[in-house]
Every structure is written in C-alpha cells, then in structure tokens.
C-alpha cells in the first residue's frame, strides 16, 4: 500500500515537471518570436 502510493506520487510529480518544462519551452518560443517580429518590423 505504501509503495503504490509513493509510486503514484512520483508519477504525478514527474508529469507536473514535464508539463512545467513544456510550458517554459513554449513561453521561450513565444518571447523569441515576438522579439524577432518586433525587430523585423
């Protein structure tokens, strides 16, 4: 019981980290595109 709860917690933490990482990459891409567009315009 304890082991399965720990595994479930680790899995959810890993998923949250993955989503946060993807979100940070998306944010960086948006900032880069906006910055480049501003420079070009």
Mean pLDDT (10-residue bins), the chain, 41 residues:
82 93 95 84 61
pLDDT of residue 4: 87
pLDDT of residue 7: 92
DSSP letters, 1-41, are -HHHHHHHHHHHHHHHHHHHHHHHHHHHHHHHHHHHHHHH-
Q: Rounded CA gap, 41 and 28, in Å?
A: 20
Question: What residue has token string 């709860």?
Answer: 5
Spatial distance between the Cα atoms of 37 and 41, rounded to a whole number of angstroms: 6
pLDDT at 1: 57
């Amino acid at each position: 019981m304890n082991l399965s709860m720990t595994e479930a917690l680790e899995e959810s933490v890993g998923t949250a980290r993955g989503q946060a990482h993807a979100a940070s990459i998306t944010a960086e891409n948006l900032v880069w595109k906006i910055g480049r567009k501003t420079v070009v315009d």
